[in-house]
């Protein structure tokens, strides 16, 4: 069973009440959305957005099995298109928008798309299969400088150049086609001491490739802007991030709008999961950060 991160905190800060309308812009398995849905009944509505068509289909089936389709709208699209989605669905009087950005556990564990360096899967890494760009395309065809640049900037990897060089050398011999093959190349390219660190040496490079394939940072920027625009006055925007690049975008967004468009801070800094209450039972929650803002009246 998927465990939604910081669920109690999200409900506390968004404070959903019967009759209100909310958007879960990253509905995934529906943990946050279903809790919000329960809180806004009998007349409140939830709009759930999911970019990945497989996750979207799974969520549709879950809702049907639970028999709660009424007042719960699902859309298979990117939250970057949130303004258009809201317009198409005629979804109004929005009291809150939730973003749980980043990688779903399902993508690592079940998707079969090469997101995990611990598995031997085809190098895909797409959230949306219609997207023509794959991780395989990047590692086999992008030039050395561009490859090193994204690993350094989007992976925040200090060994980006030797990793990129090792990838370039290996692809001259044969195509790089699987996640395990790529992970072994990275492991061999870095200093031995680096392989003894807490995180696997392939972690940051895989993050960089995933961000590049899906334009994750660009989508976060567009999504936050759209989410703020569609909020009703007094509505709240809640954002959960899992890595520093995403959190920096959120802080920059708050700083930018706070100067001219009237943002009130609901949380003081970032809210993090409690070790004993959450991280102990869901280790992947350890890097989560929640920030909540309110659109001024």
Q: Are 11 and 34 in contact (CB under 8 A)?
A: no
pLDDT value at residue 99: 97
pLDDT at 3: 77
For residue 140, which of 116, 174, 184, 179 has the smallest C-alpha distance? 174
Alpha carbons 270 and 263: distance in angstroms, whole number: 16
Mind listing the pLDDT tens digit for each residue in 233-268? 999 999 999 999 999 999 999 988 876 567 899 998
User: Is the preceding omega at residue 184 within 30 degrees of 0, hence cis?
Assistant: no
| Mean pLDDT score, 193-209 | 95
Nearest to 151 by CA among 92, 83, 202: 202
Write down the mean pLDDT value for the chain: 94
pLDDT tops 90 at residue 67: no
Q: How far apart are CA 263 and CA 257, in angstroms?
A: 6
In CATH, the number for domain 112-214 is 1.10.150.170
Write out the two tokens for 93.
Answer: 């009087």
CATH of domain 7-106+216-295: 3.40.50.150
Q: What does the domain layout of the chain look like in residue ranges?
A: 7-106+216-295, 112-214
Question: What pLDDT sits at residue 261?
Answer: 63
* Per-residue pLDDT tens digits for 208-222: 999 999 999 999 999
Q: What is the pTM of this model?
A: 0.93
Task: Please provide residue 281's backbone torsions phi and psi, each rounded to the nearest 5 degrees.
Answer: -100, -15
Per-residue confidence (pLDDT) for residue 260, from 0 to 100: 57
Lowest mean pLDDT among 13-27, 171-185, 211-225, 263-277: 263-277
What is the per-residue pLDDT for 104? 85
């Amino acid at each position: 069973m998927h465990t939604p991160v910081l669920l109690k905190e999200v409900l506390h800060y968004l404070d959903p009440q019967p009759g209100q309308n909310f958007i879960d812009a990253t509905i995934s398995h529906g943990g946050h959305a279903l809790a919000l849905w329960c809180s806004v009944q009998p007349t409140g509505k939830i709009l759930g957005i999911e970019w990945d068509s497989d996750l979207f289909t799974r969520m549709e089936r879950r809702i049907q099995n639970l028999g709660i389709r009424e007042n719960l709208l699902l859309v298979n699209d990117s939250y970057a298109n949130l303004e258009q989605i809201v317009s198409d669905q005629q979804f109004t009087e929005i009291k809150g928008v939730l973003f749980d950005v980043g990688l779903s556990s399902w993508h690592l564990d079940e998707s079969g798309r090469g997101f995990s360096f611990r598995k031997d899967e085809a190098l895909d890494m797409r959230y949306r299969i219609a997207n023509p760009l794959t991780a395989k395309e990047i590692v086999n065809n992008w030039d050395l400088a561009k490859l090193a640049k994204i690993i350094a900037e989007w992976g925040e990897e200090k060994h980006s150049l030797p990793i990129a060089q090792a990838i370039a050398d290996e692809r001259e011999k044969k195509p790089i086609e699987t996640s395990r093959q790529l992970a072994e190349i990275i492991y061999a390219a870095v200093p031995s001491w680096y392989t003894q660190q807490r995180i696997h040496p392939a972690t940051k490079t895989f993050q960089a490739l995933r961000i590049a394939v899906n334009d994750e940072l660009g989508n976060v920027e567009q999504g936050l802007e759209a989410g703020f625009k569609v909020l009703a006055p007094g509505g709240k925007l809640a954002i959960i991030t899992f890595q520093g690049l995403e959190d920096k975008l959120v802080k920059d967004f708050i700083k930018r709008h706070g100067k001219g468009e009237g943002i009130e801070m609901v949380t003081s800094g970032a809210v993090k999961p409690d070790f004993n209450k959450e991280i102990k039972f869901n280790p992947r929650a350890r890097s989560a950060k929640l920030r909540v803002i309110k659109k001024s009246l």
